[in-house]
C-alpha cells in the first residue's frame, strides 16, 4: 500500500507541481520587494497559459509558445503596473480586476478563435530533456530508478525554474538592481532622494513578475497538460502568493515553499488510490494543498515581515 | 562668488504660498542657519534646491551659474547633499548599502562590496564620523543614523550640505557631537545650510542667520549682532516671552495627587521607578526633572493608567487609582498631555472635533445613551478651536494635516478644556517653536491659577525653571532631590540630574543643547 504511494514518481511529480507555483512565487517576491502587491499572479498565469497554447496551435512550435506566454504575461502585468504605479490606485483592487479580466478575456478568445468553450485541441509539448537507459536489475538499478526519476525526468522549464530561483536570489543580494529593489519596497523616498527613479524600478519589477507568471502558465500548458482549459490555473496564483510569504520574500525561499505545496499536491493525487480502500470523498484530498496554504499562512509564518512600503503607492514630492 | 544662490524662489501648494520670492546666498565654507517657525517654508525651499519640488518661479544658481534642478540626481551631480528631517534610510539594509545606494561601485551590475565598504571607512575616518559599516540601520541609535545620512551625502560628493532640522531627534550629547562634525565639514571646505527653529542652536553654530516667516525671508543677521530675544521677535513677528514670570505665589489647596512608594517596571522588565513618594496640591505646579530614561515615562504612564505599577499607591483626591485604567482615571478627574502626541495624543486620521471629544465621547452632553451628539461635539470643537487659537480652516480637517504646534494645541485644548483636577503634562512643548511654547506655557500657568494641580515632566531645564513651584529631580528611578523654585537653578538641577555624585556640569553646557533637545 505505502509502496504504491511513496514512489519515485511522487517526488518527481512534487517537483513538477512546484514549478508553476515557484515561478509565480518568485515573480511575487520581485514585485513585492519593489513595493507592489501582485495579487494578479493568478490571472497573469492564466493569460500566459492561454497565449502560449494559442501560439503553439498557430505555429506548432512549443518554444514560440513559451515566448508568447512570457510576453503576454508581461503585457497584462503592464496594466497592473500602470494602474498601481502611475495612477496610484489600490493594488489589491487593480490585481483583482486583472484576475477577472484574464478569466473573461481567455474565455472570450476561446470562443472567438476556436468556436467553443472548455478545452483547446491538444498541442505539441516540450519533452523531458534527458532520456537515460536504465541498467539491469538489483539494488543499484532501483536506486538509479529513483535518481533518474527525481533528477532526470523533467522538462526544460522545471530546470530553468531552479536556475531562476538561484540567479534571482544572488541578484537580489549582490547586484545594483537587487539593492535598489530591496530599498524600493522598504523606503521608496530614500531611493528617490539618491536620484534613482522609483517608477522605473517598480515598472521593471512588475513586468518581471508578469513574465515569470506567464512562464508559469507556459509550464502548465506546454509542459504539463498539453492543452488549455478555461480557468485551469485554479488558484495556483494565490498559492504562489502564500509561498512567497512563507519563503520570506526570497526567491529560494519561495522555491522551497512551492516545493512543499507541490508535494502536497502530488501526494493528494497519489492518495486518490486510497479511495478504493476506505470511503473518503475525493474532494477531501483535493483540499490538501489549499488546507496546507491556510495552515501555513495562519500559523507558521505569523511573524514573517513584509517589505515596509509594500502596497503603498509612491507619490513624488 | 557664492556656492549657492537662490533668487526669488516661489512655491505654492494648494491654499498656501509656502515660499514667496525667497532669495538667499551661501558662501563657500560658511554655515548659514535657516531659522523659522514650523510651517515657515524652510523645508520647502530646500526641497526645491534638492530637486524634490519644482518651483513656480525664481531660480537657483550653483557656482554663479543658473542650475535647472529637476531631480535629486541633478542636485547630487551638482554637489548638493541633503539630510532630510525624516531620515531617508532603508532600515533593514546595512550602513554601507545605504550609503552607496544609487552609486554602487562595481562592474556588470554586480556590487563590489569590498570597495564599497572601504570607501565608507575612508570617509568615516576622514570626517571623524565613526560608524560600523556592516551594522543594520534598524539597530543603530538615531544619532548614529544621522551620521550615516551625512556620510551618504559626502559619498555622493556633496560640496553643499543641507541639514533639515538635524537636532530634532538628538540627545544633548549628540547635538554637541553634530556641531563639531559640522565645524569639521566646514574646515574641509564644505558649505552648510542648517535648518532649525531652535534659537540656542543658531547662536551656537551659525556664521550667518537667515530668518523666514510665512514663506518669506524676513531678516538676516549673525550671532554677534543679535540675541535670542531679537531672533524670536524676528521669527514669530511679535515679542515673545521666552521665560514667563509667574505673577502669583502658589496657593496650596487640598492635596490632589498623592503617590506613595510607587514601583514600576519598564518594558524591558527592569524596575524603572524604584519607590517614589510625593504629592501635588491644587494650584501648584510640580515638575519632575531628569535626564531622559530615568523612569519619568514609566512614572507618568502608571499615574495616568497606562501601565500597571508593581507596588505602591496612587491617590487622586483620596480615591485610589493605583490600578485604574485610563477611562477610570479620566472620570476621576485626570488629564494627560502625553509625551508622544502622534502615538498617544491624537488619532491623526480623525478630524479635529473627533479628537477634541475623545475621552469625553461617552458622557453628556456629547453622548446620549449609545449615540453621540454631533451638534454638541461641533459646538464644543468650535469653542475650543477659538479659545486655544488652533489654526485650521475648519473643525473637519484631519488632525494629521495640522502643523506640529497646532497638533499640540489640540491636545492641550482637549486635556485642559476638560477641566480636570490634575493635569499631567509630559514634555508638553517637545518639538515646538518658541511661539507655540509660549502659548502652551501660558495655558499650563492658567490651569495653575484656576486651582488645578499640575504635574509637569520635562527634559528641558528652562521649562522646569520657568514653570515649576517645586522641582523633583529623578535619577535612576528615584527622587534624589526636591527643590523649591527659589532654590533651583540650572547648575543645581544638572548636578542632581546626573546623580549628584559626579562633577558639576556648567550651566552653559547643560542649558544650550538641552533646551529644545529631546534627550
Ligand atoms: N506637499 C505639500 N502639500 C501641501 N502643502 C504643503 C506641502 N509641503 C508643505 N506644505 C505647506 O507649506 C508650508 C511650509 O511647509 P514647510 O516648508 O514644511 O515648513 P517648515 O519646514 O518651515 O516647517 C506649510 O504651510 C505646509 O503645510
Ligand atoms: Mg520642515
Per-residue HEC secondary structure of B232-277 comes to: HHHHHCCCCCCCCCCCCCCCCCCEEEEEEEEEEECCCCCEEEEEEE
Inspect the interface and report whether the beta carbons of A183 and B156 lie closer than 8 Å.
Answer: no
Quick check: A184 and A176 in contact, CB under 8 A? no
Among A55-69, B44-58, B340-354, which is the least confidently predicted range? B340-354
Residue A1: per-residue pLDDT = 64
Q: Please tell me whether the peptide bond between B199 and the residue prior to it is cis, using omega within 30 degrees of 0.
A: no
Which residue, by CA, sits nearest to atom 1 of ligand 1? A317
CA distance B9 to chain A (A): 17
A122: containing domain: 2-126+143-300
Judged against a pLDDT cut of 70, whether residue A5 lies above it is answered with: yes
Residue pLDDT, tens place only, A71-89: 999 999 999 999 999 999 9
Q: How many domains does chain A have?
A: 1
Classify strands B478-484 and B470-475 as parallel, antiparallel or unpaired.
Answer: antiparallel
Residue B82 has a pLDDT of 95
Q: Which pLDDT score, from 0 to 100, does residue B514 have?
A: 39
- Beta carbon of B126 within 6 Å of any ligand 1 atom: no
Q: What mean pLDDT comes out for the span A201-217?
A: 98
- Best-predicted range by mean pLDDT among A45-59, B133-147, B414-428? A45-59
Banded model confidence at residue B337, pLDDT cuts 50, 70, 90: very high
pLDDT(A284) > 90: no
Q: Is residue A137 part of a domain?
A: no
For the domain made up of B243-333+420-519, the CATH class stated in words is alpha beta
Give dist(CA A289, CA B6) in Å, integer. 63
Whether the pLDDT of residue B513 is over 70: the answer is no
Please report the pLDDT score of residue A89 as a whole number.
92
pLDDT of residue A317: 58
B403 — pLDDT class (breaks 50, 70, 90) = confident
Is residue A264 domain-resident? Answer: yes
A310 CA from centroid of ligand 1 (Å) = 26
Res. B503: pLDDT tops 80: no
Q: What pLDDT shows up at residue B510?
A: 46
Q: Is the pLDDT of residue B505 over 50?
A: no
Task: Give pLDDT tens digits for A236-261.
Answer: 999 999 999 989 999 999 999 999 99
Which residues make beta-bridge pairs with B475?
A: B478
Q: How far apart are CA A168 and CA A29, in angstroms?
A: 10
pLDDT in tens, B252-276: 778 999 999 999 998 878 899 999 9
Q: Which of B171, B201, B214 is nearest to B31 (CA)?
A: B201
The answer on pLDDT for B287 being more than 50 is yes
Interface of B with A (CB under 8 A): 47, 50, 52-53, 71-77, 82, 84, 88-93, 97-98, 100-104, 106, 109-111, 113, 152, 156
Distance B180 CA to ligand 2 centre (A): 23
Residue A106 has pLDDT above 60, yes or no: yes
The CB-side HSE value for B222 (13 A sphere, CA atoms) comes to 5
The Cα B10–Cα B21 span in angstroms is 5
CB-based contacts of A61: which residues, under 8 Å, 6+ apart?
A: A55, A124
Strand partners, B509: none
Contact A182 B109 (CB under 8 A): no
* pLDDT band per the 50, 70, 90 thresholds, residue B392: confident
Q: Which helix (H) or strand (E) holds A157?
A: helix A156-174
pLDDT tens digits, B28-44: 999 999 999 888 899 99
The contact set of A with B (CB < 8 A) is: 174-177, 179-180, 182-183, 186-187, 189-196, 308, 316-317
| Mean pLDDT of the A200-214 span | 98
Q: Strands (DSSP E) along B373-490, which ranges?
A: 422-426, 453-458, 470-475, 478-484
* Alpha-carbon gap: A255 to the closest alpha carbon of chain B (Å): 23
Closest ligand 1 atom, CA of B44?
Answer: 17
Residue A109 lies in a domain: yes
pTM: 0.80
pLDDT (tens digit per residue) in B198-216: 888 888 899 999 999 989 9
Residue A54 lies in a domain: yes
More confident residue, B363 or B31: B31
User: With pLDDT > 90 as the criterion, what percentage of chain B qualifies?
Assistant: 59
**Which residue among A186, A192, A193 sits closest to B92, beta carbon to beta carbon?**
A186
> How is domain B4-236 classified at the CATH fold level?
Rossmann fold (3.40.50)
Per-residue model confidence (pLDDT) at position A273: 75
Range among A33-42, A277-286, A297-306, B411-420 rated most confident: A33-42
List Cβ neighbours of A202 (8 Å cut-off, separation of 6 or more). Answer: A34, A35, A36, A81, A85, A184, A188, A314
Lowest mean pLDDT among A58-62, A270-274, B396-400: A270-274
Inter-chain residue contact B106 with A192, CB threshold 8 Å = no
Q: Which residue lies with its CA nearest to atom 2 of ligand 1?
A: B13
Tell me if A56 is assigned to some domain.
Answer: yes
Q: What is the CATH number of the domain that holds A108?
A: 1.10.3470
Which of A163-172, A239-248, B399-408, B442-451 has the lowest average pLDDT? Answer: B399-408
Q: Is B38 in the pocket of ligand 1 (CB under 6 A)?
A: yes
pLDDT of residue B342: 82
Cβ atoms of B281 and B255 closer than 8 Å = yes
- Ligand 1 centre from B8 Cα, in Å? 18
- Where does the pLDDT of residue A280 fall: very low under 50, low under 70, confident under 90, or very high at 90 and above? confident
Where does the pLDDT of residue B506 fall: very low under 50, low under 70, confident under 90, or very high at 90 and above? very low
Pocket of ligand 1 contains residue B39 by CB under 6 Å: yes
> Average of pLDDT values for B121-148?
90
Is the predicted ipTM greater than 0.85, yes or no?
yes
Mean pLDDT of all residues in chain A?
91
Q: Are B477 and B446 in contact (CB under 8 A)?
A: no
Nearest-CA residue for atom 9 of ligand 1:
B44
Confidence tier at A64 by pLDDT (50, 70, 90) = very high
pLDDT for the residue numbered A141: 84
Portions of chain B given CATH number 3.40.50.300 = 4-236, 243-333+420-519
* Domain contains A310: no
The count of residues in chain A is 317
Amino acid at each position: 500500500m505505502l509502496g504504491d504511494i511513496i514512489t519515485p514518481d511522487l517526488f518527481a511529480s512534487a517537483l513538477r507541481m512546484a514549478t508553476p507555483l515557484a515561478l509565480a512565487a518568485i515573480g511575487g517576491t520581485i514585485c513585492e520587494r519593489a513595493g507592489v502587491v501582485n495579487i494578479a499572479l493568478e490571472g497573469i498565469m492564466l493569460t500566459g497559459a492561454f497565449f502560449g497554447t494559442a501560439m503553439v496551435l498557430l505555429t506548432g512550435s512549443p518554444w514560440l509558445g513559451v515566448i508568447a506566454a512570457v510576453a503576454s504575461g508581461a503585457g497584462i502585468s503592464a496594466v497592473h503596473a500602470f494602474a498601481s504605479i502611475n495612477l496610484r490606485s489600490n493594488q489589491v483592487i487593480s490585481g483583482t480586476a486583472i484576475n477577472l479580466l484574464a478569466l473573461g478575456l481567455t474565455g472570450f478568445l476561446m470562443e472567438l478563435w476556436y468556436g467553443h468553450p472548455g478545452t483547446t485541441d491538444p498541442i505539441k509539448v516540450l519533452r523531458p530533456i534527458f532520456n537515460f537507459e536504465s541498467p539491469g536489475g538489483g539494488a543499484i538499478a532501483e536506486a538509479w530508478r529513483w535518481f533518474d526519476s527525481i533528477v532526470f525526468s523533467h522538462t526544460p522549464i522545471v530546470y530553468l525554474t531552479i536556475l531562476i530561483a538561484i540567479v534571482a536570489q544572488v541578484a537580489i543580494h549582490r547586484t545594483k538592481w537587487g539593492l535598489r529593489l530591496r530599498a524600493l519596497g522598504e523606503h521608496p523616498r530614500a531611493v528617490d532622494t539618491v536620484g534613482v527613479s522609483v517608477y522605473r524600478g517598480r515598472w521593471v519589477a512588475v513586468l518581471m513578475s508578469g513574465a515569470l507568471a506567464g512562464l508559469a502558465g507556459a509550464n502548465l500548458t506546454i509542459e504539463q497538460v498539453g492543452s488549455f482549459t478555461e480557468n485551469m490555473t485554479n488558484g495556483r496564483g494565490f498559492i504562489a502568493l502564500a509561498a512567497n510569504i512563507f519563503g520570506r520574500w526570497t526567491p529560494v525561499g519561495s522555491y522551497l515553499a512551492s516545493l512543499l505545496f507541490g508535494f502536497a499536491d502530488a501526494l493528494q493525487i497519489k492518495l486518490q488510490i486510497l479511495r478504493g480502500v476506505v470511503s473518503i470523498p475525493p474532494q477531501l484530498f483535493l483540499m490538501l494543498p489549499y488546507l496546507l496554504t491556510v495552515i501555513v499562512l495562519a500559523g507558521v509564518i505569523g511573524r514573517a515581515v513584509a517589505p515596509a512600503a509594500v502596497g503603498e503607492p509612491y507619490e513624488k514630492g | 562668488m557664492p556656492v549657492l544662490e537662490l533668487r526669488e524662489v516661489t512655491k505654492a501648494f494648494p491654499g498656501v504660498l509656502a515660499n514667496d520670492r525667497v532669495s538667499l546666498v551661501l558662501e563657500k565654507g560658511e554655515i548659514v542657519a535657516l531659522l523659522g517657525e514650523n510651517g515657515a517654508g524652510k523645508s520647502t525651499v530646500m526641497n526645491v534646491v534638492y530637486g524634490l519640488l519644482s518651483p513656480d518661479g525664481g531660480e537657483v544658481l550653483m557656482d554663479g551659474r543658473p542650475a535647472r534642478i529637476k531631480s535629486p540626481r541633478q542636485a547630487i551631480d551638482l554637489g548638493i547633499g541633503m539630510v532630510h528631517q525624516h531620515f531617508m534610510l532603508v532600515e533593514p539594509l546595512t550602513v554601507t548599502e545605504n550609503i552607496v545606494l544609487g552609486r554602487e561601485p562595481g562592474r556588470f551590475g554586480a556590487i563590489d562590496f569590498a570597495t564599497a565598504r572601504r570607501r565608507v571607512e575612508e570617509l568615516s575616518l576622514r570626517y571623524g564620523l565613526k560608524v560600523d559599516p556592516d551594522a543594520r540601520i534598524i539597530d543603530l541609535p538615531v544619532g548614529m543614523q544621522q551620521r550615516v545620512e551625512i556620510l551618504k551625502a559626502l559619498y555622493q560628493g556633496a560640496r553643499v550640505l543641507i541639514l533639515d532640522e538635524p537636532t530634532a531627534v538628538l540627545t544633548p550629547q549628540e547635538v554637541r557631537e553634530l556641531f563639531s562634525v559640522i565645524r569639521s565639514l566646514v574646515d574641509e571646505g564644505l558649505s552648510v545650510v542648517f535648518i532649525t527653529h531652535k534659537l540656542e542652536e543658531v547662536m551656537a553654530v551659525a556664521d550667518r542667520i537667515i530668518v523666514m516667516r510665512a514663506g518669506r525671508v524676513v531678516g538676516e543677521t549673525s550671532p554677534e549682532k543679535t540675541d535670542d530675544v531679537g531672533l524670536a521677535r524676528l521669527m514669530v513677528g511679535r515679542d515673545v516671552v521666552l521665560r514667563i514670570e509667574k505673577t502669583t505665589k502658589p496657593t496650596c489647596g487640598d492635596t490632589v495627587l498623592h503617590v506613595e512608594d510607587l514601583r514600576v517596571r519598564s518594558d524591558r522588565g527592569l524596575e524603572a521607578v524604584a519607590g517614589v513618594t510625593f504629592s501635588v496640591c491644587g494650584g501648584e505646579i510640580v515638575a519632575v526633572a531628569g535626564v531622559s530614561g530615568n523612569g519619568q515615562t514609566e512614572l507618568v504612564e502608571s499615574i495616568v493608567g497606562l501601565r500597571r505599577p508593581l507596588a505602591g499607591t496612587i491617590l487622586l483626591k483620596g480615591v485610589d487609582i493605583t490600578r485604574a485604567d485610563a477611562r477610570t482615571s479620566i472620570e476621576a478627574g485626570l488629564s494627560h498631555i502625553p509625551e508622544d502626541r502622534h502615538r498617544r495624543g491624537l488619532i491623526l486620521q480623525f478630524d479635529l472635533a473627533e479628537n477634541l471629544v475623545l475621552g469625553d465621547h461617552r458622557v453628556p452632553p456629547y453622548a446620549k445613551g449609545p449615540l453621540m451628539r454631533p451638534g454638541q461635539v461641533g459646538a464644543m470643537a468650535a469653542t475650543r478651536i477659538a479659545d486655544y487659537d488652533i489654526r485650521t480652516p475648519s473643525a473637519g480637517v484631519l488632525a494629521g494635516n495640522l502643523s506640529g504646534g497646532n497638533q499640540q494645541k489640540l491636545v492641550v485644548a482637549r486635556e485642559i478644556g476638560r477641566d480636570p483636577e490634575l493635569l499631567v503634562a509630559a514634555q508638553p512643548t517637545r518639538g515646538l517653536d518658541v511661539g507655540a511654547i509660549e502659548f502652551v506655557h501660558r495655558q499650563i500657568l492658567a490651569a495653575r491659577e484656576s486651582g488645578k494641580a499640575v504635574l509637569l515632566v520635562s527634559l528641558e531645564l528652562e521649562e522646569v525653571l520657568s514653570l515649576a513651584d517645586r522641582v523633583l529631580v529623578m535619577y535612576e528611578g528615584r527622587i534624589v532631590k526636591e527643590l523649591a523654585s527659589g532654590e533651583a537653578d540650572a547648575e543645581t538641577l544638572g548636578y542632581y540630574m546626573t546623580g549628584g555624585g559626579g562633577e558639576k556640569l556648567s550651566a552653559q553646557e547643560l542649558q544650550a543643547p538641552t533646551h529644545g533637545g529631546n534627550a
